Amino acid sequence: MNNQTTENQLLQIAGVLKQQQVIAYPTEAVFGVGCDPDSELAVMRLLELKQRSVDKGLILIADNFEQLMPYIDDSALSDAQRLVVFSHWPGPVTFVFPARPETPKWLTGRFDSLAVRVTDHPLVKKLCRTYGKPLVSTSANLSGKPPCRQASEVYQQFGNDFPVLEGDTGGRTNPSEIRDALTGELFRQG
């Protein structure tokens, strides 16, 4: 895929996001489905598609830490805790931060925290830059089916008209590790 094709596809997918739709895109290990985190309609569409309860909360994936600042309260972290987080970013480690009080419940679910990641996947970084904010990120698979590792699998599970940012995953076999930013507790092995 040449640069012009990639730029055109990024602009097209960003346009779909602005229409409050759900998209699929490659991440470090599998394809993810995502949407605009500030659109309740888009998040509800994603949750319905995944047959997932809003109570579980979601992950945001971003190009850089600044994109996450409107959603998380990093003032609760010490300098040492922040250093630990930044030593893993960009990369495939998701950290759970205290959420800002105004962070929508459709993102945090039953929690007062939010899982976030600064990705090192070049295509996702470009998508977040093009769109200008982070994206909701959860594995691209229908309930009971394995996560998609290729665009063709996304089309098989979600249909040929599903908007997909085509590209390669980062080649990791496991989903992102999830840790508590305050305590370092491991919630999911990566």
Domains of the chain: 3-188 (3.90.870.10)
Q: What is the distance between the alpha carbons of residues 150 and 168, in angstroms, rounded to a whole number?
A: 7
CA angle 38, 98, 102 (to 5 degrees): 40
Residue that is written with structure tokens 């419940």 in the block: 105
| Whole-prediction pTM | 0.93
Record the tokens describing residue 35, joined without a space.
């949407």
Q: For position 189, what pLDDT does the model report?
A: 81
Determine the straight-line distance between the first and last CA of the chain, rounded to whole angstroms.
Answer: 30
pLDDT in tens, 108-167: 999 999 999 999 999 999 999 999 999 999 999 998 899 999 999 999 999 999 999 999
**Cβ neighbours, 10 Å, residue 173:** 9
